[in-house]
Amino acid sequence: MVDIDPDDDCTILYTSGTTGRPKGAVSTHRAVVSSLMAFAARNGVLALATDPEPVDPNDPVFDTSFILIVPLFHVTGCVPVMLSCFMAGLKLVIMYKWDAGKALPIIEQERITNFVGVPTQSWDLVNHPDFEKYDTTSLKAVGGGGAPAPAALVDKVAKSIKKGGPQLGYGMTETNAFGPGNLGKFYTDRPTSTGRAIRPMGVQVWDPVTKEVLGVGEYGEIMMSGPMLIRGYWNRPDATAEAIENGWLHTGDGGYIDEEGFLFIKDRIKDMILRGGENVFCSEVEGSIYEHPAVHEVAVFGVPHERLGEEVAVAIKVTDGASLTAEDLWKFLDGKISSFKVPNHVVIMNEELPRNAAGKFLKTALRDMVGSGALTPTSR
């Protein structure tokens, strides 16, 4: 037997690297187990709060089971999915590769209850033409994280799942995937929020310059603390010192906390578009564009502009069999959002938008492709 101390290193998971060189996030056994226990506690509270009907634990129909649809080298697949199943002795069904058409019969046959991925996978599932042909009544939770979910998708999932409902988790590699969660009715009531944090995690909003803790409704950088945080980055003391300050993790995300403690993420602080002195939050624009029925994927990003500093650009993957032009989009957005937020440059693509291994859109790559001429937008 090898003696393992709770503070010994347990995992090294590499961050997504959407804007720079990936870093190896080192977690201790204490951090990983703290995350697992926090997930279990939150799910237990949710079950008590939302399911008044007693469930017979011996009924196999109600056995909790997960389908693995994200890579195991990603923190979501490793910690809240795989290790949660190992800890609780739950069934885990592994897909070789994500395919909504192949996932549906697996869900029916294996009586899958929990579906955890990125919003695009939830969209693929509930919008698949064969969705109604399969029995998906075993599903109790559909959601995950990795990217904001459009309000239209939250509503669609809520209407498609007979038992339980949509879920959203706001975590990252550096928190072992744990963070504020918006689950069930709380999510459908507040689809633009990532939910509330529960102990032992702490969440604050700091002024990015003064480091002052901000009050209710004030926009700043979201900070996290708790025993589930990584101890640092592998052989990167400089990056560790920059990311973790007095036990608080700089998430790089900008947002605010409302009077009820619900966290709202507006955007990545560095990815926010500053257009002529006006802040444009990409997630807000993306949410409005997602409401168009022809839109399957959308990524909003900034491109340089001589006078304004930046202008708003968007890359869109249209739904199979649908058609969309830049003029259609501009007409659709007229009156939905402020005119300065409407993309001036529109790229319509037939192939999937570029993503990293974690499923996040590579906006920097899209920006570079537009700048180099590899992608030619329709502009106005």
301 and 271 Cβ atoms separated by less than 8 Å: yes
Mean pLDDT, residues 57-67 taken together: 71
pLDDT at site 54: 57
Mean pLDDT, residues 322-335 taken together: 95
One domain for residues 285 and 307:
yes
- Per-residue b/e over 119-146, b at no fewer than 16 CB within 10 Å? bbbbbbbbebeeeeebebebbbbbbbbb
Mean pLDDT, residues 52-64 taken together: 60
Residue 47 confidence (pLDDT) above 70? no
One domain for residues 171 and 312:
no
Q: What is the pLDDT of residues 145-165, one digit of tens each?
A: 766 677 777 888 888 887 778
One domain for residues 205 and 282:
no
Domain assignment present for residue 162? The answer is yes
Percentage of residues in the chain with pLDDT exceeding 70? 93
One domain for residues 237 and 279:
no
Which is more confident, 215 or 21?
215
pLDDT at site 241: 96
Instruction: Report the C-alpha gap between 90 and 115 in whole angstroms.
Output: 14
Q: What is the pLDDT of residues 179-194, one digit of tens each?
A: 999 887 888 888 889 9
185 and 155 Cβ atoms separated by less than 8 Å: no
One domain for residues 125 and 186:
yes
Element (H, E) at 67: strand 65-68
Instruction: List CB contacts of 348: < 8 A, sequence separation 6 or more.
Output: 316, 318, 324, 325, 326, 378
One domain for residues 212 and 318:
no
Residue 366 confidence (pLDDT) above 90? yes
Establish how many alpha carbons lie within 13 A of residue 267's alpha carbon, considering only the half-sphere containing its beta carbon. 20
216 and 204 Cβ atoms separated by less than 8 Å: no
Q: What is the pLDDT of residues 218-253, one digit of tens each?
A: 999 999 999 999 999 999 999 999 999 999 999 998
Domain boundary residue among 201, 231, 266? 266
One domain for residues 251 and 131:
yes
**What does pLDDT average to over the chain?**
89
Domain assignment present for residue 1? The answer is no
pLDDT at site 138: 93
One domain for residues 218 and 85:
yes
Band of the pLDDT at 342, cuts 50, 70, 90?
very high
Domain assignment present for residue 356? The answer is yes
Segments forming the whole domain that contains residue 213: 9-266
Which is more confident, 107 or 162?
107
One domain for residues 92 and 147:
yes
Instruction: List CB contacts of 331: < 8 A, sequence separation 6 or more.
Output: none
pTM listed for this prediction: 0.76
Q: What is the CATH number of the domain that holds 44?
A: 3.40.50.12780
Strand, helix or coil for residue 172: coil
Domain assignment present for residue 4? The answer is no
Counted domains in the chain: 2
Residue 52 confidence (pLDDT) above 60? no
pLDDT at site 61: 46
Which is more confident, 367 or 359?
367
Domain assignment present for residue 13? The answer is yes
pLDDT at site 56: 58
One domain for residues 301 and 241:
no
Domain boundary residue among 232, 266, 300? 266
Percentage of residues in the chain with pLDDT exceeding 90? 63
One domain for residues 237 and 305:
no
pLDDT at site 375: 93
Residue 279 confidence (pLDDT) above 80? no
Mean pLDDT, residues 253-258 taken together: 94
